């Protein structure tokens, strides 16, 4: 099979994303502009240029109002974000990332890439999965399949196993913004997901914030200044906290050093030089780690298994490098986890395996996935007292049901002669319908009674496909009339016209570069800032050094706006020293 026929596997992560393909029979990461991991950060530079990856990540420290990070947590919410004064949907921001991946892979492979398999957290609901499909479409990709991240990891680990080898795996996937755990069985070339659990709002970003909050609180006590009130100062502190977290994965201590983080009441610069011990960091995040173990217990219970029934524990996601994670998981599971595959690469490699299967590669694996949350409708019924009890959730497809699946159930109208019903489709586990996630609603009208008591029966059919996208059909028993909707979640779902509009917005953003909105300043200072921006664009730039450069740029801009030229000169001298360090 030629490379041109192959399908791209993409791990669209909260903090980092990665593409992979099957090459010479082996799943392989494809670098994007020389980097195997692309920072999931998007920005617009002061000159109007679209930034994706390391340049955007570096800009976020100095210009958070021009930069968006962790957009994955906003997917499917129906909200917008503001970047450089313009509003974008989460799908559009994700599309910038996917477009960067698409173009980077095309440059690497030397031919167009049009098809992809994209991964999502196992606990993503239908609306979030649909938003991911839309992001791919906006980026110019035909998304062939959406698969769960832990399932992709199991595919990566299971690739190349003997067809008669049977294994039960627990995949513990702790990324930058989400956490998933799945119990998976590999048997005779079939990857069967037995149970899944997780938290879409738990990950490395939360660990960074806990540490940054602690440092900010200490700063308030010492200087009576809250760094959280200043976007740039807080962004710099979060970046430094992330760097410290990474360092603490391999060292017992880390230093947070931030020059010129604030000014006191007399205008004197204030700095942060604080050592963080690994034990202190673990204490700050201990309750979050315990929440992951609660999900592990839930997945095991749903699969009716004990830790001793698990043959292999897989750690996936960059946050699993934290030693406390290893200790907690190994203690609970009574065995040492496996990390033969880079935790940052496992999901993308597994997506490539699934992409290879779809493309017709010779891969003896069949994927059998499950739905993470129950799907059903809102119903009402008469209680023992004769009063109507409404807002009840009636599941048609139960949590951890193997997909694709189709389920039907007969429901009746409440009253004789009732001619219409309002179908509300929910996803979740609460017996109270409104406490679950509303996926969509629609009316079924002109009902004809088919029962002696004058009421009407309707058959509600749910069909969930391999991408966990739901089709709902309601059929009237009397006439056979059928009303079908693919969720009709119009608040979140984009029409073809809206997809086209978003594609046009992306194109306009890329064509909008060169419109400067920089402050008017000395040409020598402008040249220095251009030199600094080039340094920030370097993907190999040390994170702490990048943060200090970005902070100094911000100080120069602020001093220029305040016409404090003595401060401009001091900050420029400091920036020159930093750039000399970069260019050594």
Active site residues: 11, 72, 149, 173
Contact partners, residue 494, CB within 8 Å, separation at least 6: 89, 91, 134, 502
24 Cβ contact partners less than 8 Å away, ≥ 6 residues apart: none
Other C-beta atoms lying within 10 Å of the C-beta of residue 509: 20
The helix, strand and coil proportions of the chain, stated in percent and rounded to the nearest 5, come to 40, 30, 30
Q: Residue 165's CB: how many other CB atoms inside 10 A?
A: 12
Give the number of other CB atoms < 10 A from CB of residue 114.
Answer: 12
Torsion region of 552: left, alpha or beta (phi above 0 gives left; psi -120 to 50 gives alpha)? alpha
Three-state DSSP at 382 gives strand
* Strand (E) or helix (H) holding 20: strand 16-23
Which uninterrupted H or E stretch holds 274? strand 269-277
Q: Residue 36 belongs to what H/E stretch?
A: none
Query: What is the rounded CA–CA span in Å between residue 235 and residue 241?
Result: 10
Read off the tokens for 341: 């595959």
Strands (E), 434-581: 437-444, 457-464, 470-476, 482-485
The CA radius of gyration of the chain, in Å to the nearest whole number, is 26
Measure Cα distances from 29 to 10, 287, 353 in Å. Answer: 10, 34, 11
Within the chain, how many helices (H) and strands (E) appear?
13, 27
Distance of alpha carbon 542 from alpha carbon 564, whole angstroms: 30
Of 242, 238, 243, the C-alpha closest to 228 is 238
CA distance 100 to 55: 12
Q: Which helix (H) or strand (E) holds 107?
A: helix 90-109
CA gap 537, 56 in Å, rounded: 8
The answer to whether the CB of 439 falls within 8 A of the CB of 428 is: no
Residue 382, token pair as written in the block: 């008469």
Query: How wide is the angle at C-alpha 397 spanned by C-alphas 396 and 403, nearest 5°?
Result: 150
């Amino acid at each position: 099979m030629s490379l041109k026929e192959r399908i791209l596997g993409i791990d669209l992560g909260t903090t980092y994303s990665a593409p992979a393909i099957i090459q010479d029979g082996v799943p392989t990461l494809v670098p994007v502009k020389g980097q195997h991991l692309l920072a999931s950060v998007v920005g617009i530079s002061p000159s109007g240029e679209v930034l994706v990856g390391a340049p955007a990540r570096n800009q976020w420290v100095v210009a958070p109002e021009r930069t968006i990070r962790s957009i994955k947590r906003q997917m499917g919410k129906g909200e917008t974000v503001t970047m450089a004064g313009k509003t974008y949907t989460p799908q559009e921001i994700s599309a910038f990332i996917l477009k960067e991946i698409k173009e980077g892979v095309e440059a690497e492979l030397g031919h167009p890439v049009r098809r992809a398999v994209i991964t999502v957290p196992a606990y993503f609901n239908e609306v979030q999965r649909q938003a991911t499909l839309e992001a791919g479409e906006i980026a110019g990709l035909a998304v062939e399949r959406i698969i769960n991240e832990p399932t992709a990891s199991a595919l990566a680990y299971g690739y190349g196993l003997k067809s008669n080898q049977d294994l039960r795996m627990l995949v513990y996937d702790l990324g930058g913004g989400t956490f998933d755990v799945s119990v998976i069985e590999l048997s005779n070339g079939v990857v069967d997901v037995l149970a899944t659990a997780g938290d879409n709002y738990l990950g490395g970003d939360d660990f960074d914030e806990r540490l940054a909050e602690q440092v900010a609180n200490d700063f308030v006590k010492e200087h009576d200044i809250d760094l959280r009130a200043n976007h740039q100062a807080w962004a710099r502190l979060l970046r430094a906290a992330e760097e410290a977290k990474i360092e603490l994965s391999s060292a017992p201590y880390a230093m947070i050093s931030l020059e010129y983080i604030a000014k006191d009441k007399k205008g004197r610069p204030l700095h942060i030089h604080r050592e963080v011990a690994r034990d202190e960091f673990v204490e700050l995040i201990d309750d979050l780690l315990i929440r992951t173990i609660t999900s592990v217990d839930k997945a095991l219970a749903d699969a009716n298994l004990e830790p001793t029934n698990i043959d292999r524990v897989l750690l996936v996601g960059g946050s699993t490098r934290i030693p406390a994670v290893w200790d907690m998981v190994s203690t609970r599971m009574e065995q040492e986890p496996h990390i033969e595959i880079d935790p940052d690469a496992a999901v993308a490699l597994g997506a490539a395996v699934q992409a290879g299967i779809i493309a017709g590669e010779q891969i003896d694996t069949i994927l059998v996935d499950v739905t993470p949350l129950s799907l059903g409708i809102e119903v009402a019924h008469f209680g023992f007292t004769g009063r109507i009890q409404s807002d009840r959730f009636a599941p048609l497809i139960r949590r951890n049901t193997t997909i694709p699946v189709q389920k039907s159930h007969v429901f009746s109208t409440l009253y004789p002669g009732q001619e219409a019903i309002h179908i509300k489709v929910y996803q979740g586990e609460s017996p109270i319908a409104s406490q679950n996630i509303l996926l969509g609603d629609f009316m079924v009208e002109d009902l004809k009674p088919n029962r002696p008591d004058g009421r009407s029966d309707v058959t509600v059919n749910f069909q969930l496909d391999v991408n966990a996208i739901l089709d709902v059909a309601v059929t009237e028993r009397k006439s056979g009339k059928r009303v079908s909707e693919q969720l009709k979640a119009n608040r979140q779902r984009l029409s073809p016209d809206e997809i086209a509009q978003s594609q046009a917005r992306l194109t306009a953003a890329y064509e909008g570069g060169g419109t400067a909105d920089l402050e008017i300043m000395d040409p020598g200072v402008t040249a220095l800032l251009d030199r600094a921006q080039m340094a920030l664009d370097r993907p190999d730039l040390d994170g702490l050094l990048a943060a200090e450069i970005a902070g100094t740029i911000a100080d120069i801009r602020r001093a220029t706006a305040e016409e404090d030229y003595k401060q401009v000169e001091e900050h420029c001298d400091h920036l020159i020293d930093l750039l000399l360090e970069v260019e050594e």
